[in-house]
Amino acid sequence: MKPLVIMGATAVPEMIDLIRAINEAQPTFELYAILDDNPELANSTIEGIPVTGGLDSHTDHPGAQILFTIGNHESRFTRRAILDRLALPDERYATLIHPASNVYQSASIGAGSIIHFGAVVANGAKLGRWVEVLWNSIIGANATLEDGVKVASNVTTNSGVRAERFSYLAAASAIAEEVTIGAGAVVGMGSIVTRNVEPGAFVFGNPPRVLKKDQLPDGF
């Protein structure tokens, strides 16, 4: 069993269920600590797992793998900054793949990525580091999801889609073939995207329109 520490308290209940499903198929992970910078969580427990310190206290757990679960579409730039600050090698990050997902043999999954129940990662798809694909989403053939991309539930990306670093695809959105979603962009819930989305843009609707555009931080 590999010792495992979760970074970020918000997603702990769903991660515990995912870890349980993996362990039922093949004993793999032993979750024993949570790290979170929220001082109100200090010395508390979540689902019976103790919060043992802030994020930087990963140094207290040198033999453990790290499951990085921090962030949503609003904190995508902060997630990148935290990962840069931690500067941990790829081998420290745990990769979790639900046994009821379908990852094709020709697909590749980067370190620290999380694939949930019912997700499909099709032939030739390439997922970078810290990618998360939620329930029943489909990553199409030869699609590329760069580092830090988050895919919510029931999303469909068709063949050849490229989602650049730390972009976010909200629930039930659909991305047409060969479309590129720019770095740090957000595709709103239920949107159907048939054209490229510029970096930092927040698009919503069918056809989607740009609701706002965030400036990418330096070095993003």
Q: Residue 63 maps to which CATH number?
A: 3.40.50.720
Residue 204 pLDDT > 90: yes
Question: DSSP for 198-211?
Answer: -TTEEEEETTEEEE
Q: What percent of the chain has pLDDT above 90?
A: 95
Residues 42 and 128 in one domain: no
What is the reported pLDDT for 73? Answer: 84
Q: Provide the pLDDT confidence category of residue 218 given band limits of 50, 70 and 90.
A: confident
Residue 217 within any structural domain of the chain: no
Residues 24 and 116 in one domain: no
Q: Tell me the three state secondary structure of residue 195.
A: coil
Residue 157 within any structural domain of the chain: yes
Question: DSSP for 18-72?
Answer: HHHHHHHHS--EEEEEEE---GGGTT-EETTEEEEE-GGGGGG-TTSEEEE----
Q: To which residue do tokens 């730039």 refer?
A: 77
Residue 78 within any structural domain of the chain: no
Residues 127 and 167 in one domain: yes
Q: In which domain, by residue range, is 114 found?
A: 96-206
Rg (CA), the chain: 17
Q: Provide the pLDDT confidence category of residue 111 given band limits of 50, 70 and 90.
A: very high
Residue 211 within any structural domain of the chain: no
- Looking at 70, 105, 130, the residue that finishes a domain is 70
Q: Provide the pLDDT confidence category of residue 207 given band limits of 50, 70 and 90.
A: very high
Residue 218 within any structural domain of the chain: no
What is the reported pLDDT for 71? Answer: 85
Residue 159 within any structural domain of the chain: yes
Q: Residue 140 maps to which CATH number?
A: 2.160.10.10
- Name 208's bridge partners: 205
- State mean pLDDT over 126-154: 98
Q: What percent of the chain has pLDDT above 70?
A: 100
176: left (phi over 0), alpha (psi -120 to 50) or beta: beta
For residue range 151-165, what is the model confidence (pLDDT) as tens digits?
999 999 999 999 999
What is the reported pLDDT for 135? Answer: 97
Residues 35 and 121 in one domain: no
What is the reported pLDDT for 74? Answer: 87
Residue 169 within any structural domain of the chain: yes
Q: Provide the pLDDT confidence category of residue 72 given band limits of 50, 70 and 90.
A: confident
CA 159 vs. chain centroid, Å, equals: 20
For residue range 17-38, what is the model confidence (pLDDT) as tens digits?
999 999 999 999 999 999 999 9
Q: Provide the pLDDT confidence category of residue 57 given band limits of 50, 70 and 90.
A: very high
Residues 121 and 199 in one domain: yes
Structurally, the chain folds into a number of domains equal to: 2
What is the reported pLDDT for 33? Answer: 98
Q: Which of 172, 179, 136, 183 is nearest to 158 (CA)?
A: 179
Residues 194 and 118 in one domain: yes
- Looking at 22, 54, 70, the residue that finishes a domain is 70
- State mean pLDDT over 104-108: 98
